């Protein structure tokens, strides 16, 4: 039986991903799991699970399972998603040249994301941005799924 995943699930996983975390797809079950780099490092080091409390041993065991099998594929990381690049492409897609220039100025230097968000809110572009970002994440997910020869159910619902 061929695995078919929901595109929406992959996109949601990419959308929630943050620095310091990696997401994996079990290529046999379709299960997605996100682990911190610390959990993965503890699994690689073979740390004593009794030294951890609460939920940590479970996450480290999941990391060990991922590291010790070929059943899991690494999803694109935040580096590969490159949110800044998506933001920059959105700015260039704005037809109004003055607004485009303003947005491009706002994304330069430290605090770029905060200034960008403030500017799109001020110009009521927030829904356009979220739609654009969603489409970019969908394309990243589709490219990754195709590259890994994984069938998927299209659609965002």
Residue 59 or 154, more confident: 154
Q: Are 32 and 24 in contact (CB under 8 A)?
A: yes
Beta-bridged to residue 36, according to DSSP, are 21
Q: What is the pLDDT of residues 4-50, one digit of tens each?
A: 999 999 999 999 998 899 999 999 999 999 998 888 888 888 766 65
Report which listed range, 15-19, 51-55, 60-64, 125-129, is most confident: 125-129
How distant, in Å, are the alpha carbons of 4, 17, 19, 55, 134 from that of 79? 26, 11, 8, 27, 17
Express each pLDDT in 137-151 by its tens digit.
Answer: 999 999 999 999 999
Q: What is the pTM of this model?
A: 0.85
66-98 confidence digits (pLDDT tens): 988 999 999 999 999 999 999 999 999 999 999
DSSP state of 83: H
Q: How confident is the model at residue 58 (pLDDT cuts 50, 70, 90)?
A: confident
Where helices occur in 20-73 by DSSP H, the ranges are 37-45, 56-67
pLDDT tens digits along 109-142: 999 999 999 999 999 999 999 999 999 999 999 9
């Amino acid at each position: 039986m061929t695995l078919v995943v929901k595109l929406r699930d992959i996109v949601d996983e990419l959308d929630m991903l943050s620095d310091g975390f990696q997401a994996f797809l079990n290529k046999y079950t379709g299960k997605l799991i996100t682990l911190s780099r610390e959990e993965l490092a503890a699994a690689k080091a073979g740390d004593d699970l009794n030294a951890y409390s609460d939920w940590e041993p479970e996450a480290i065991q999941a990391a060990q399972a991922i590291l010790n099998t070929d059943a899991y594929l690494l999803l694109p990381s935040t580096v590969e998603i490159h949110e800044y690049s998506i933001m920059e492409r959105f700015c260039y897609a704005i037809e109004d040249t003055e607004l485009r220039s303003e947005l491009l100025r706002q994304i330069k230097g430290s605090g770029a994301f905060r200034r960008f968000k403030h500017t799109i809110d001020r110009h009521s572009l927030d829904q356009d941005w979220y739609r654009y970002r969603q489409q970019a994440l969908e394309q990243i997910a589709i490219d990754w799924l195709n590259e890994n020869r994984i069938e998927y159910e299209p659609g965002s619902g």
